[in-house]
Structure 1
Amino acid sequence: MYPRIIETRIENKLGKGKAIVVTGPRQVGKTTLIKDLLRNRKYLFLDGDDPAVRNILTNPNTEDLRSLIGQHDTLFIDEAQRIDNIGLTMKLITDQFKNVQLIASGSSAFDISSKLNEPLTGRKWDFTLLPICWEEYENHIGFLKSEQQLHNRLIYGFYPEVLNHPGEEKDILRELTNSYLYRDVLSLADIRKPEVLEKLVQALALQVGSEVSYNELAQTVGVDKNTVASYIDILCDGFVIFKLNSYSKNIRNEIKSNRKIYFYDNGIRNMVVGNFNNLGLREDTGYLWENFLIAERLKQNLYKNTFSNIYFWRSRQQQEIDLVEENNGQITGFEFKWNMNKRVKLPKTFMETYKAEGKVINPSNFREFVKI
């Protein structure tokens, strides 16, 4: 098991009178993490994928729950988004069983948020768990080994099963992609045209690091712009991709409404495009480097509760900055370069306008960026 950065934060919320909700993609270790946290507690585990569990928890009354919980001091409901009315059930448990710690996990941000937010307002702590981050990886295997594995991580990503089974990465990523990316997202969102979703994911994977146009995507996959927007939101809620919006303070020459799309995991992205070639044989190495770094920064900000906001920036004169981070009024622009010999200078217009700090991140200094 890879020790997770977020574990201490979750542990500090145990016994504080609120439910704990952990969301994230399937197979990133949510169940393993929570069971490890509860190893010294007397807990009851219920799997939302089990039809019998769904039946029991759909509309229980207080006495039903009392019989179910018994002498356990903790109730862990896995894949809670699969259970109808789970928000009301969790509210009942939280309100009526003050000495019971309730924990729920879910693999769909949309489903679990829509079912829990209103019933559990003020009654829950929310956490997100993503694939292993670089800091967790390096802490587990050491500086030297992680350095030797950088190329592989850009190609195969950070899913725990991928890391734990070297040599089987492609088979594992194929199964992960076919199961959670397509099957789960299709079933959770009730999408009627799976072939459209597949084409859209492939189109997005080929545009990592580039600005995306919903109109152009609509023409590519053969549906209207609103359907593309809806499917992209579903993929975000399913923890497949995330959006990066453009940074703007209403300066006339800035691009204000564009966005970029990135994948939470390079391995999933590479499986979608069917390319596991070595970095020296690829034309997209720079984009893989960019996707890796932005996903890692997202994990760090999320796990360490930095309250940072991240964007990209581009002017109408085609000046660009890969990542803009805003934290407590401080603006920092980051440029990502895989080639350490390439000299880079961040746009003077941006730096002076926003009194920003500028940094270039390459393989020689990336650790300071991915380990806040």
Structure 2
Amino acid sequence: MLSRALLPVLRDRLTNSAKIILLYGPRQVGKTTLVRQVLTELPLRKLEINADELRYVDVLSSRDLNQLKLLVDGYDLLFIDEAQRIPEVGLNLKILHDGLPQLKIIVTGSSSFELANRTQEPLTGRTWTYTLFPIATSELRAQYNPFELRQLLDQQLIYGAYPEVFSLPNQQDKAQYLRELSTAYLYRDVLEMANLRYPDKLRQLLRLLALQVGAPVSLNELGNALQMSKDTVAHYLDLLEKAFVVFRLSGFSRNLRKEVVKMDKVYFYDLGIRNAVLNNFSPLNARPDAGALWENFLVVERRKRNAYAPYPALPYYWRTYTGAELDYVEDVDGQLAGYEFKLTKKASNAPASWVANYPGATYAGINRDNYLDFVL
């Protein structure tokens, strides 16, 4: 079993803090497994509740401290899995936390939209919040040396990093698992979050986004292609973000007249899901989109690294209207670092306009030979 980066963090918070812990993340990414692993290390009497079980929902949505006390009587810790399914879960957790401050509480949810909306206001100042991603390269490093990680790279680019992918014995099983995961879970959370009028459009939108990884995305163009309004596309994209399917990267600028900022880039949290959306699990050396896969991989692995570190970097891409561009930029307290991503080792210099506009910024090219420094 891979040791997850958040395990010591959650263990420390449960041991030394009285706040409620909220753990977000996509379905099947290992949230329940991680929490159970943490709990086995703590000498506490634990009550685990799956919010899909109706027998608990009435009590946990009752707003009645007496009922809540009866539920947790005799336990030191309450673990609620998939808590977004409980009506008014935030208010009830507040009542429970304030009424039984000695009770430790940890809560998971696969939808940041549902759970955040229901917990944010009632639990202000009462929580520690974390996100669990698919397996990070930094987590693999605990079991694999740099040579072995490089041997795994092609698999990560094609089949992604969901935990079960690493345990399946062959490529056919990996592909079948990802197809089933994308249909059984991917759309389920998004469709449950909102009463979408055109669910088929959501699948079409995901396919278009998968084809445009690495390029700035125009909501107007997507709307025209899907025969939807720009606002509807923006709404669907927002739902996909909150269900941990995709995320956006904005353009960096300190000179709005020269630099592109109106369009975001969109990346997938997991490349296996991205390739399942396109139904394409061809080997890397046979793919015209290898460069896009490489860029998505590096951006999402850097996102995981910075989240788990934690590292206070603001991420962007950079592009000018004259065509100069950098795939990725980080701003850390005003210090800029620019990066260009190339699968093969290829010497390159920073764009002249980047150097001229940001003379104090650093620049590096990231390729197969040196990528581990970037993602670790």
User: TM-score scaled by structure 1?
Assistant: 0.97
| Residue identity (%) | 42
Provide the residue aligned with 2:224 in structure 1: 219
Q: How does 1:272-287 map to 2 (within 5 A)?
A: 272-287=277-292
Task: Tell me how far 1:348 sits from its aligned partner.
Answer: 1.9
Q: CA contact under 8 A between 1:93 and 1:102: conserved in structure 2?
A: no
Task: Tell me how far 1:65 sits from its aligned partner.
Answer: 1.2
Q: CA contact under 8 A between 2:193 and 2:239: conserved in structure 1?
A: no
Provide the residue aligned with 1:202 in structure 2: 207
When structure 1 is superposed on structure 2, of 25-34 and 136-145 the one drifting more is 136-145
Answer yes or no: is 1:137 the counterpart of 2:165. no
Match of 2:296 among 280, 291, 301: 291
Task: Tell me how far 1:19 sits from its aligned partner.
Answer: 0.3
Deviation track 1:207-263 (CA, whole Å, cap 9, x = no partner) reads 000110000000111211100000000000000000000001135211121110000
Aligned residue for 1:331, secondary structure, equals: strand
Greater than 4 Å deviation, 4+ residue runs: none
Give 1:124's aligned amino acid. Answer: T
Provide the residue aligned with 1:31 in structure 2: 32
Provide the residue aligned with 1:78 in structure 2: 81
Give 1:331's aligned amino acid. Answer: L
Give 1:105's aligned amino acid. Answer: T
Partner Cα distance (1:17, 1:126) in 2? 13
Task: Tell me how far 1:138 sits from its aligned partner.
Answer: 2.6
Partner Cα distance (1:4, 1:269) in 2? 23
Q: How does 1:302-313 map to 2 (within 5 A)?
A: 302-313=307-318
Give 2:84's aligned amino acid. Answer: Q
Q: CA contact under 8 A between 1:325 and 1:332: conserved in structure 2?
A: yes
Q: CA contact under 8 A between 2:113 and 2:193: conserved in structure 1?
A: no
Answer yes or no: is 1:124 the counterpart of 2:127. yes
Task: Tell me how far 1:174 sits from its aligned partner.
Answer: 1.0
Q: CA contact under 8 A between 1:309 and 1:326: conserved in structure 2?
A: yes
Partner Cα distance (1:42, 1:36) in 2? 14
Match of 2:47 among 44, 50, 74: 44
User: TM-score scaled by structure 2?
Assistant: 0.96
Deviation track 1:238-290 (CA, whole Å, cap 9, x = no partner) reads 00000000001135211121110000011000000111111111000010000
Aligned residue for 1:13, secondary structure, equals: helix
Provide the residue aligned with 2:165 in structure 1: 162
Q: CA contact under 8 A between 2:347 and 2:365: conserved in structure 1?
A: no
Aligned residue for 2:32, secondary structure, equals: helix
Q: CA contact under 8 A between 1:334 and 1:360: conserved in structure 2?
A: yes
Deviation track 1:134-176 (CA, whole Å, cap 9, x = no partner) reads 1111322443332211111100000001111131101110111
Give 2:20's aligned amino acid. Answer: A
Count of residue pairs brought into register by the alignment: 370
RMSD between aligned residues: 1.2
Provide the residue aligned with 1:316 in structure 2: 321
Partner Cα distance (1:112, 1:190) in 2? 17
Answer yes or no: is 1:106 the counterpart of 2:109. yes
Match of 2:268 among 263, 270, 286: 263
Partner Cα distance (2:281, 2:55) in 1? 41
Partner Cα distance (1:159, 1:191) in 2? 27
Match of 2:237 among 221, 224, 232: 232
Unaligned runs of 5+ in 2: none
Task: Tell me how far 1:331 sits from its aligned partner.
Answer: 0.3
Answer yes or no: is 1:369 the counterpart of 2:374. yes
Provide the residue aligned with 2:347 in structure 1: 343
Partner Cα distance (1:246, 1:85) in 2? 37
Provide the residue aligned with 1:13 in structure 2: 13
Aligned residue for 2:48, secondary structure, equals: strand
Provide the residue aligned with 1:22 in structure 2: 23
Answer yes or no: is 1:245 the counterpart of 2:244. no
Q: CA contact under 8 A between 1:333 and 1:357: conserved in structure 2?
A: yes
Answer yes or no: is 1:326 the counterpart of 2:317. no
When structure 1 is superposed on structure 2, of 136-145 and 195-204 the one drifting more is 136-145
Deviation track 1:32-59 (CA, whole Å, cap 9, x = no partner) reads 1111111132110011122222222111
When structure 1 is superposed on structure 2, of 183-192 and 308-317 the one drifting more is 183-192
Answer yes or no: is 1:356 the counterpart of 2:361. yes
Partner Cα distance (1:324, 1:361) in 2? 12
Partner Cα distance (1:277, 1:336) in 2? 21
